[in-house]
A = this chain, B = another copy of it.
Amino acid sequence: MARPDLTEVRTPQILDAFARCVARYGLEGASLEQIAEEAGMKRSILRHYVGNREDLVVALAGRVVERYREDLEELMSALPGAGAKRVEALLDYLFTTERWEPSVENVVADTLLSAVDRYPEVGEIMKGFMEELFEVYEGLLRDGYPKAERAKVKAVAYGVVSLSFTHEWMMPMGMPAGYGRSAKGAAKVLVGSLAT
């Protein structure tokens, strides 16, 4: 005997609008009013469904990793081949320089990462995802190179993640394409070391 609960609908709308604002104006650069307008709502609604700025930031971190998780899952099920071929496909995917375009998601993630000191909860959330990411890559590498020793696989997984992240945050600065090749080259060296 009441109106339906729109929390599940409004919250993502709000957070996505907030994400766009963060990409455009920075984490504290947009007023709640602007964010509300971006979401096509009144400011009071942000408060109603999420809360004040701090609440928004923490919730945004949750949303971002949620989407990254989905992307990761999708990627894993979309990767062709098996064993070492699958690893190769991953590298091709990660280090494509051609059709690169700045994504709101990545900018937001970088921004949040640079703010973990100020928002400990955000740090916890990001950390959780990072650990998951490392594990997934590690598993992929183990499948590809089952005879490689465990610690080395860990190191290579870390390296590949590191290279792809660096690649992502350097692109917006307009670094020459040569660096993209270097990134992929380094990743290949790392992965190749597992074959010996």
Contacts and interface: CB of A to CB of B under 8 A. Distances in A.
A29 interface: yes
Contacts of A172: 116-117, 123
A158 B181 CA distance: 10
Interface stretch (A20-28, A41-49, A80-88): A20-28
A185 to B, nearest CB: 3
B159 A159 contact: yes
Nearest to A160: B186
Interface in A123-170: 123-124, 126-127, 130-131, 134, 151-152, 154-159, 161-163, 165-167, 169-170
Nearest to A124: B173
B183 A126 contact: no
A114 B113 contact: yes
A20 to B, nearest CB: 12
A118 interface: yes
Contacts of A117: 23, 102, 107, 172
A174 B127 CA distance: 8
A163 B159 contact: yes
A9 interface: no
Contacts of A113: 110, 114, 169
Interface in A77-124: 102, 107, 110-111, 113-118, 123-124
A178 B157 CA distance: 12
Question: Which of A114, A134, A161, A163 has the most chain B CB atoms closer than 10 A to its own CB?
Answer: A114
Contacts of A107: 114, 117
B28 A170 contact: no
Contacts of A127: 173-175
A165 B102 CA distance: 20
> Considering the complex of A and B, which 10 residue pairs feature the smallest CB-CB distances, nearest first?
A155-B185, A159-B186, A158-B182, A162-B166, A110-B114, A28-B29, A127-B173, A155-B186, A111-B114, A155-B182
